[in-house]
Structure 1
Amino acid sequence: MAKSNAKSKSVKAKSVNKASKAQEKQASESNTESKPEPTLDYEAQHASEATTEPRRCPSCGSTDIVYDAERGELVCNNCGLVIEENVTDTGPEWRAFDADQRNTRSRTGAPIKYMKPNKGLVTEIDMYNRDIRGARLPSKRQAQLYRMRKWHKRASIASSSERNYLIALPELNRVASYLGLPENIRESAALLYRQCVKNNLIRGRPIETVVNAALYATCRSAGMPRTLDEIAQISGVPKKEIGRAYRVISHELNLKIPLTDPISYVPRYVAALKLSGEAQEKAVALLKQAMKKGLVSGRSPTGVSAAAVYIAGALIGERRTQKEVADVAGVTEVTIRNRYRELKKELNLDVNL
């Protein structure tokens, strides 16, 4: 009986052990099922935490590390160790002190071209009809590209204002090229014309008139004046119409255009007459004396400037005739003689012409 009882007890213990092991196995499986596997977000979170850990100095272990923008170096502010040299500044070259400045100064991509109807922000299909290797495309492919160009042009120029720019901006570029004006003057004139269109100043006026008036105003504002006669002669628009449109633009847009300085005409006249730099310096000095005595006010700046160049050439032995100077300046010989007499009398010049 004792042996049978012992056997039964051992069997019961073994069954209890098996049951407990089975329960532990089920519990472990349930725990593994309930615990989610680490996802990419979890790993990325730990990676971001690792990357955001403050950088430490390899010498003293301090986290007080500063960036020297002038030398492009990372320096430990505690021990003075230069941790890294020639650090590239990937930030912008401008500074902003508030949100408005940050929004207006931040930019990406190529600069805006106001001389183009779409401001240069639209992709264009060229006219070369060649592939990437420079080989000429077959005729069927060329016909397809022709249709693509046509519809691309129609889609990119949809509004009436853009069609207006398609006429106005080439005219502005043509006149500016004849006048020898640089790119920045053309861009400023195109921007001013766009403001005129935006404020409906072009309504009831020809496009060519407003374009040339905007160009005239831009030249005066930039200190590179061109006369109304010059612009009218090149553009074919009457001088009075350009002047009238210019007055409307300056009044409606509240332009602060300074008075034309006679000195600004001197370099052009000297270069056209092939005079030396000494003649230019002498003419500028004469005009400064005339401006101090009030001889310029109420008179045409081109006439006074031409007379000063005429006198300066005679004083240094580089004489030019009155007709040559008058043709370059776009004034009459009578105007040069009158301004010459005034300058000679008021400035006490010892010159006989």
Structure 2
Amino acid sequence: MSDTTIRTYTEEMTETEAESTEQESVRGCPECGGRLVDDSEHGETVCEDCGLVVEEDAVDRGPEWRAFDSAEKDSKSRVGAPTTNMMHDNGLSTNIGWQDKDAYGNSLSSRQRAKMQRLRTWNERFRTRDSKERNLKQALGEIDRMASALGLPENVRETASVIYRRALNEDLLPGRSIEGVATSALYAAARQAGTPRSLDEVTMVSRIDKMELTRTYRYIIRQLNLEIKPADPESYVPRFASDLDLSDEAERRARHLLQGAREAGLLSGKSPVGLAAAAIYAAALLTNEKATQSQVSDVASISEVTIRNRYKELLEAADVTTASN
């Protein structure tokens, strides 16, 4: 190709790009100068002032299917699963299915089954290349197990996974067990999300004791500079009321009792779980609903003595608040 031809081709391309840039910058109706809008339903570009159709038969780059809710959208989507911090590889690696069948649903022969089993073994080895990934895989599996047992939502699991990853990257694990740091991360994430669980509840589903949990938890939040507010007794009320099958009126009364105790300065220095359990029991008495101290104790994992002492204080504070008003 000669220099003249190259020069001519370059000039033509430059003129074309300049024209397209000028058209994009103007973006106005050629008739009246009005604003152009895209009509995605009919695949046209029209002027909203005079109605002139400037472009038609536009290409729709969206999906060809329609969905009317999130579940239907997820079932029809043909893309892969979203990335997640709950998996050690962020969900980006491949996985060989456990079914010993081919693409047509036919069973594999014994020789092919043995081959697939070897492939699964090597695939699992390649997914965890070093000790750090093996550590992360074990910890995230532990977090998912405990979160399922405690009924915690997915956002809490994601937050706990991020906290554990930070602890691992900052070398906070030497001298501490994987289970201890994973449990502490989950406990901190639950409190950050406003869906706290008591230390006794977390210890029941964990593989460590309460003392190790509290020690590791304090160390993690101090080293990672996590800002975690003290647990609010009102955040436990909906769960306790639901487990005891109490009415909305009883739940509202329990919240009112706790608010009165807060105004009277009774919440400081007391267990939020015990206060919430006492408020639920007192609210059940006030609304004539059936909830014994033993039932509340089982749900909240708090002794009956604590419930008896706290609910009397809550009722006295409510009486004082009512009299002052």
Q: TM-score, normalised by structure 1?
A: 0.74
DSSP 3-state at the match of 2:319 = coil
Does residue 168 of structure 2 align to residue 200 of structure 1?
Answer: no
Q: CA-to-partner distance for each residue in 1:122-166, whole Å, 9 max, x for gaps?
A: 111111121111111112112221221212221221121111022
Does residue 134 of structure 2 align to residue 170 of structure 1?
Answer: no
Q: Is the 8 A contact 1:265 1:305 kept in 2?
A: yes
DSSP 3-state at the match of 1:298 = coil
For residue 171 of structure 2, what is the amino acid of its counterpart? N
Q: TM-score, normalised by structure 2?
A: 0.80
For residue 98 of structure 2, what is the amino acid of its counterpart? M
Alpha-carbon distance in 2 for matches of 1:203, 1:146? 35
In the other structure, the counterpart of 1:331 is 302
Q: Is the 8 A contact 1:130 1:137 kept in 2?
A: yes
Q: Which moves more between the two structures, 111-120 or 236-245? A: 111-120
Residue 220 of structure 1 is aligned with which of 141, 166, 191? 191
Q: CA deviation at 1:324?
A: 1.4
For residue 85 of structure 2, what is the amino acid of its counterpart? Y
Does residue 121 of structure 2 align to residue 150 of structure 1?
Answer: yes
Q: Is the 8 A contact 1:65 1:74 kept in 2?
A: no
Q: CA deviation at 1:47?
A: 11
Does residue 243 of structure 2 align to residue 275 of structure 1?
Answer: no
Higher relative contact order (CA 8 A, sep 6+): 2
Q: Is the 8 A contact 2:179 2:207 kept in 1?
A: no
DSSP 3-state at the match of 2:106 = coil
In the other structure, the counterpart of 1:262 is 233
Q: Is the 8 A contact 1:112 1:119 kept in 2?
A: yes
For residue 178 of structure 1, what is the amino acid of its counterpart? A
Does residue 211 of structure 2 align to residue 240 of structure 1?
Answer: yes
Q: Is the 8 A contact 2:258 2:314 kept in 1?
A: no
Q: Structure 2 unaligned runs (5+)?
A: 63-78, 321-325
For residue 318 of structure 1, what is the amino acid of its counterpart? E
Once the two structures are superposed, the pairs formed by residues 1-353 of structure 1 within 5 Å of their partners are: 45=13, 49=17, 52=20, 54=23, 60=31, 66-67=36-37, 74=45, 76=47, 81=52, 83=54, 110-348=81-319
DSSP 3-state at the match of 2:141 = helix
Change (3 A) 1:65 1:321: closer
Alpha-carbon distance in 2 for matches of 1:49, 1:343? 76
Paired residues in the alignment total: 299
Alpha-carbon distance in 2 for matches of 1:164, 1:260? 30
Change (3 A) 1:326 1:80: same
For residue 144 of structure 1, what is the amino acid of its counterpart? K
Identity %: 44
Q: Structure 1 unaligned runs (5+)?
A: 1-32, 92-107
In the other structure, the counterpart of 1:25 is none
Change (3 A) 1:334 1:89: farther
Alpha-carbon distance in 1 for matches of 2:52, 2:311? 73
Alpha-carbon distance in 2 for matches of 1:343, 1:51? 77
Q: Is the 8 A contact 1:275 1:313 kept in 2?
A: yes
Alpha-carbon distance in 1 for matches of 2:57, 2:195? 43
DSSP 3-state at the match of 1:115 = coil
Change (3 A) 1:163 1:236: closer
Q: CA deviation at 1:256?
A: 0.5
Q: CA deviation at 1:83?
A: 3.9
Q: Is the 8 A contact 2:37 2:48 kept in 1?
A: no
Larger Rg: 1
Alpha-carbon distance in 2 for matches of 1:252, 1:89? 51
